[in-house]
Structures are given as structure tokens and as C-alpha cells.
Amino acid sequence: MIIRKKEHWFRMLFVWHGSVLPALLPRLGLLLILSLFVSYFHGMIFSFKVPLNPVPLTLFGFVLALFLGFRNNASYDRFWEGRKLWGALLNTSRALTRQAMALHNQSNDNESLHYFVQLLSAFVFALKHQLRETEAYEDLKLRLNEEHLKIVASSKYKPAVIMRLLAEWVQNSKDKNCLDSIQQSRFDENLDKLSDILGGCERIISTPIPYSYRVLLHRTVYIYCLLLPFGLVDSLGWFTTLIVVFIAYTFVAFEAIADEIEEPFGTDANDLALNSMCVMIDETIHEMAGEKIAVTPKIKQNIID
């Protein structure tokens, strides 16, 4: 994800990095060439005049804009739900760490507390890697002992396995009479929240917007853009090229943005900043546990996460 300071309105007109424009340039270039040909031949194709005018294109463009708005809302809902789930992960991690700290104050077991926090941190990083389908071994190696690393590394659904290890830690504490049934129940409530967060993220990543709907909207956008110069050439002449490219940029960019944020856990410029979120959760739970953390410098420039 690109993180920027607030830009001046004039500078935003020329922002390149992080916009979808670079990916659209080949498509816009083809429409530019088509518009130039249509303007040069005045809408004629082999002596046949294409009988289009701006009226039907205006009506159709209005309907298409409504459908694109609905498509973007559906994609943004998925993006925002993903952000809320990771916000809930931060809150739940802090709550579990606070509970473990209260238990530590009773038992004075520094090693056990440290490993619980490490397990919690491993869950966060394993979730990120599962959602992005990347290799989690290096991050897990820093946080798990050799025995648990073998168990987690050989599993397919690593966050779920780590959640089981967290539950085992709670049960072992109960067996040692370090916490009572009520305290165990409170731990279980937050572990259930972790399970809900994991399931919510998996639901987003495994349930894309129906493909047939995406194909229909994609075809409609490009057919509309291809017909647009024939409907405008009689009234605009050579200005048709400029207007067609501008309108096409608006419609095609809306579709491209919707495609990009539909899967919010990826590595595109506008996806969620999971790397930064993982580091923040890791730092805050270790700090709550009384461990020193490295000071993270403030963001002074664009960052892709």
C-alpha cells in the first residue's frame, strides 16, 4: 500500500506512482489511435457512415456509471471489511497480551509470558503470509521454538495451528493452577475472536466477486469506449480524440481500481499495508509485555507495503 502525506491539489493532478494510469496507458493509447482514425474519416467505415449520435451514448453512459459505482462499492466493502478485521486483530492481540500479563504478575513466569507473546506475533505473521500465499518460514523461525516450528511449518493452515498452540498454552496454565475457570473462559473468548478474524479474512480471499458479473461489466465498458468516437465525431470533430480519451480514462480507471481493491490483502499499490500492520502489532504486544522495541522512524515518503 502506498502511504502519502496529504498532497496539494495541484500536485495531485500529476501524481503517477500509486495511480492506475501506468497500467491503463496501452489501452488508452489504442483508443487514441482509434479516435484519430474515426476523426480523420469522419466516422466512415468502407464508405459506410456509422449512424451514431451523442444522445444514446449519453443515456447509456449514465447507466454504465451507475453499474460502475455499484461495482466500486462492492469492492470497497471488501477492502473496508478486511481493514476492520485487521483492526480487530490488533485489539484482540492487545487484550490477550494484557490477560497474559495479569497471569504473569501472579505466577512471575517471564519465559512463559514471552513465549505466549511470540506465539501471538507468529499468528499475525502467519495470517499475512497465508492471505498473500507467500512463504512464512523466516518470520516463524524468529518466533517459534524448534518443536512448534516443525509442527507449524509442515501445516497448510498455519494460523489455525498456531491458534491451537495458544489454546494449549492457556490449558497448561490452567493445569498448573495459574488461572481459574473464569480466567480461562476469558482467554477462550478472545481466542474465539481470533478464530472469527481468521475466518473473516479467509472468506474474503476465497469468495471473489462473481466472474460473470466482472466479465459483463468489463465488456460493456470497452464496447462503450469503442463506440464513443463514432457518436461524437460529427459534433466535436478533432476534439473527439481528447474527449474520448478523457471519458475512457474515467470509466476504465474505475474498473481498474475496483479490480485492485477487490482483493485487499495483496501487494498492489492500493491494497492494505499488511507488513506495517504486522510490525505494529508485533511491537505493541512486546512493549505491553515489558520488552524494549526498536523505535520506528516516522514515514516521510511514499511507502509500498
Please state the three-class secondary structure of the chain as a single string.
Answer: CEECCCCCHHHHCCCCCCCCHHHHHHHHHHHHHHHHHHHHCCCEECCEECCCCHHHHHHHHHHHHHHHHHHHHHHHHHHHHHHHHHHHHHHHHHHHHHHHHHHHHHHCCHHHHHHHHHHHHHHHHHHHHHHHCCCCHHHHHCCCCHHHHHHHHCCCCHHHHHHHHHHHHHHHHHHCCCCCHHHHHHHHHHHHHHHHHHHHHHHHHHCCCCHHHHHHHHHHHHHHHHHHHHHHHHHHCCHHHHHHHHHHHHHHHHHHHHHHHHCCCCCCCCCCCHHHHHHHHHHHHHHHCCCCCCCCCCCCCCEEC
The predicted pLDDT at position 3 comes to 57
Write phi, then psi, for 44 (nearest 5 degrees): -95, 140
The predicted pLDDT at position 302 comes to 44
The predicted pLDDT at position 289 comes to 87
Q: Give residue limits of the domains in the chain.
A: 2-12+41-304
Integer Cα distance of 71 and 74 in angstroms? 5
| pTM of the full structure | 0.85
The predicted pLDDT at position 181 comes to 85
The predicted pLDDT at position 40 comes to 87
The predicted pLDDT at position 192 comes to 95
Q: Residue 260's CB: how many other CB atoms inside 10 A?
A: 18
The predicted pLDDT at position 47 comes to 76
Per residue of the chain (305 residues), what is the pLDDT tens digit? 555 566 666 677 767 776 788 888 899 999 999 999 988 888 788 778 888 888 888 888 888 888 888 889 999 999 999 999 999 999 999 999 999 988 766 656 678 888 999 999 999 999 999 999 999 999 999 999 999 999 999 999 999 999 999 999 999 988 887 788 888 899 999 999 999 999 999 999 998 888 888 888 889 999 999 999 998 888 888 888 999 999 999 899 888 888 888 999 988 888 899 999 999 999 999 999 888 776 554 444 444 56
Integer Cα distance of 217 and 71 in angstroms? 9
The predicted pLDDT at position 41 comes to 84
